[in-house]
Structure 1
Amino acid sequence: MNLSLSMPSLCSSLLLLALAACSGSETHSRAQDRPAQGKDDARQTAPRSVPNRPDSYLTFAFYNLENLFDTEDDPFNSGDDEFTPGGANQFTEERLERKMANIARAIRAMNEYRGPDLLGVCEVENRRVLEILTQEYLPNGVYSIVHAESPDSRGIDVAMLYRTAELTHLRTTMHRVDLGTGRPTRDIMEATFQRQGKTFTVLVNHWPSRLGGEEESEPRRVAAAQTAVRIIDSLRAIDPNADVVMMGDFNDEPHNRAIHDVLDARAYSGTGAFDHRMVNTAAPVEEEGRIGSYFYKKDWELIDQIMVSPGVLDDKGLVLYETAETVFAPDFLRDRRADRDARPPFRTYKGKFFLGGTSDHFPVVLRVGWK
């Protein structure tokens, strides 16, 4: 990949910087029209960019929606019993409406208040909750849904929302993750999209939790990683330069074995050769150590991640522009009751107690170039 800057593009860049410096006060006044986000936003990781300038951009995001159930009892899903008006969580229509409004606000605020072009989600009960979200709480017709039922014992699925005007959905394949325990987990969703005659594939994951302890539960995440490896390798066997975006709640961090060793996902410096299976744009964020996507026992964990295949390092189709994802953590998604130095995600429930927040995770966002 040619990462050099031509003289005209260098001059253009200097001119843009000069204009930006002169218009700083105007930019500030426009920002005041948006909802206040607080100085904690500085804790979001500043994306590291590679020098090549793409023709346009696509913004990918992932968000664990923390048990987005409807309020109706599904007789075939015992996992939804507590998320009904008469269930343990007393999940009423009013509470669902509040959660939907919170989620929609977060989605609209991403990508500088334009919303993402593609959003992967997990912990959704069914297609119906996504239809409510996209038709009643987000601008109707802007996003289309990719969803399929997973065999998870709690009845929660992975899914995608994509901007209909930007992307054409071609096909979806669901991949079963065999844990070898007889207990099912979430499938890995593989969806292929087309834009301007070029295709790319997105994988949405929600790997098994650390229930029972990190070490004891690790084999389950290794099994999920091995499934992902088979998917990625099969795509690259057909096209070594295939553009693949992989995202999800992995319940492991970039340095953990399932991601670092089995999946072979590593950071990319922005220059030179890359000899690993996937570029992990969460790895630079973990190295900085300022914030994570999840807060557990007073520590940040970066378990929500976006990765791309080496094919995204070329200058065709998807083009890596930012080498680090952004943890999207505006003030309105934070728990303001907590210590200001931490301010974890403002969750919907703590145990059985309804807090009224959006989710116990922050979303992660990555802007990718397009040529």
Structure 2
Amino acid sequence: MQIVLRPSFNIVASFVFLVILANFSIACRPKTTQQISSSQPAVNHGQVKMVFYNLENLFDTINDPANPGDDDYTPNGKGKWTTDRYQHKLNNLWRVIEATNDGQPPEIFGVCEVENNQVLTDLIHKTVLPDHYKTVHYPSPDERGIDVALVYNPDIFTVLESKNLNITLPNNDYTRDILWVHGKIANQYELHIFLNHWPSRHSNDKTLSEGNRIKAATVLKTKCDAIFKKNPDANIIIMGDFNDHPNDKSIVETLGAKGISAANNKTQLINITAELDSTKGGSYRYQGKWERIDQVIVSRAMVHKTAGLKVLPEETGYFKADFMLYNDNKWGRMPNRTFGRDFKYFGGYSDHIPAYATFTW
């Protein structure tokens, strides 16, 4: 059927048609395109937030014969780890990661308790994280089959070299490697990033347990000393789940990291989470008490320098939002985790709270 417009309405009708056509075109755009464009990283010139987050057993659903630690995280395993549960976990984790940076992806974030590089790829490509983000990951010999890794925006951070630092424990026990990444931030300042997940505190032999973390601290200290020998003013950022508190022997004595007020001219590493008010929060809640076992430690130069890459200690802390927590009848507000005891499924986020720090130049 042919529609004939009256001459006096030609201009108006054409305008209306164009408006309708434009709206229809916008409505038909793929949803994924809208998601990606709305989540492009906010590149803050001269400032970057770094986050560390224990992801609480991020496994894919595929049974890896070489990794006995993943047996419970398969569709037929104890966790009944289906594709739907896995995708729900990815979405939850990304919701937290994005929220730590005011709704934008942090330019650099470290993670632990990841099974392999595939789960990192899925975290990037199966959520609204910008697709151009990259990862640094090495498989480690940990008996639970979990590793540490770095995720970063290559527009902000350039990797020059990286290596996994192996920790040899007594009795042929294995743990997570320490990840060392040497790069440049904003194409200007060299930076050494260390990501950690030290041996657990849960052991019948407390002396052996503490000794394992002291061993991890020794490996980290040795590498830091080698860097300081070449450059006493090197930029070093150490993040991780240390399974020890800021005042424990492994941190204070072996690694030599102290809080700002406790440090002296010979202190090379400053624990910027050491003096946060523990009554106001931490990264892990044990029997109703918040503990600061996830920490951020930096080289002295990053605290005291007046120019170049430096940390803002007042903008360091733990990110805790109501949607990440639930109310426990006995212990109060607790992190809403994925699984409880005996693999009771809660469908939450993680049993840890992210630690963060802000750096400027």
Q: TM-score, normalised by structure 2?
A: 0.83
Report which of the two structures shows the higher radius of gyration computed on alpha carbons.
Answer: 2
Aligned-partner SS, 1:131: helix
Look up the match of 2:360.
369
Q: How many residues align?
A: 314
Task: Identify unmatched segments of 5+ residues in structure 2.
Answer: 1-43
Deviations 1:248-297 (A, max 9, x none): 00000101111111111111149x96431311011111x44321111112
Report SS of the residue matched to 2:243.
coil
Question: Residue 99 of structure 1 is aligned with which of 74, 89, 92?
Answer: 89
2:130 partner SS: coil
In structure 2, the residue matched to 1:243 is: 235
Q: In 1, are the aligned partners of 2:176 and 2:197 still within 8 Å (CA)?
A: yes
Partner of 2:171: 181
Question: RCO (CA 8 Å, sep 6+): is it higher in 1 or 2?
Answer: 1
Q: What CA distance in whole angstroms lies between the structure 1 residues aligned with 2:106 and 2:63? A: 32
Q: CA deviation at 1:340?
A: 10
1:303 aligns to what?
A: 293
Deviation at 1:325, TM superposition (A): 2.4
Match of 2:250 among 254, 258, 273: 258
Change (3 A) 1:126 1:241: same
> Partner residue of 1:4?
none
Work out whether residues 95 and 356 of structure 1, in 8 Å CA contact, stay in contact via their aligned partners in 2.
yes
| Residues 1-371 of structure 1 mapped to structure 2, 5 A cutoff | 56-195=46-185, 196-213=187-204, 214-269=206-261, 274-285=265-276, 287-312=277-302, 313-323=304-314, 325-335=316-326, 337-338=327-328, 342-351=332-341, 352-370=343-361
CA contact (8 A) 2:165 2:179 kept: yes
Kindly indicate whether the alpha-carbon contact (under 8 Å) linking 2:148 and 2:179 is maintained by their aligned counterparts in 1. Answer: yes
Q: Distance in 2 between matches of 1:216 and 1:180?
A: 9
Q: Any idea what SS the aligned residue of 1:123 has?
A: strand
How large is the RMSD of aligned CA atoms in angstroms?
Answer: 2.0
Partner residue, 1:14: none
Deviation larger for 290-299 or 96-105:
290-299
Q: TM-score, normalised by structure 1?
A: 0.80
How far apart are the structure 1 equivalents of 2:335 and 2:132? 27
Identity %: 36
Deviation, 1:341, is 8.1
Shift of 1:324: 6.2
Give the aligned residue type for 2:147: D
The letter for the 1-side match of 2:274 is A
Question: Residues 68 and 125 of structure 1 are in contact (CA less than 8 Å); yes or no, is this contact kept in structure 2?
Answer: yes
Q: Partners of 1:314 and 1:340 in 2: how far apart?
A: 46
In 2, Cα distance between equivalents of 1:282 and 1:75: 39
Matched residue, 1:38: none
The secondary structure found in structure 2 opposite 1:325 is strand
Report the Cα distance in structure 2 between the residues aligned to 1:316 and 1:188, rounded to whole angstroms.
Answer: 29
How far apart, in 2, do the equivalents of 1:116 and 1:176 lie?
28
Give yes or no for contact 2:52–2:239 (8 Å, CA) kept in 1. Answer: yes
Q: Deviations over 1:174-202 (max 9, x none)?
A: 11111122111111100012133321010
Q: Which runs of 5+ in 1 are unaligned?
A: 1-53
Retained in 2: the 8 A contact 1:57–1:367? yes
Contact 1:268 1:274 in 2 (8 A): no
Q: Compared with structure 1, are the counterparts of its residues 317 and 341 closer, same or farther at alpha carbon in structure 2 (3 Å cutoff)?
A: farther
The answer as to whether partners of 2:52 and 2:111 remain within 8 angstroms in 1 is: yes
In structure 1, what is the Cα distance between the partners aligned to 2:92 and 2:104?
16
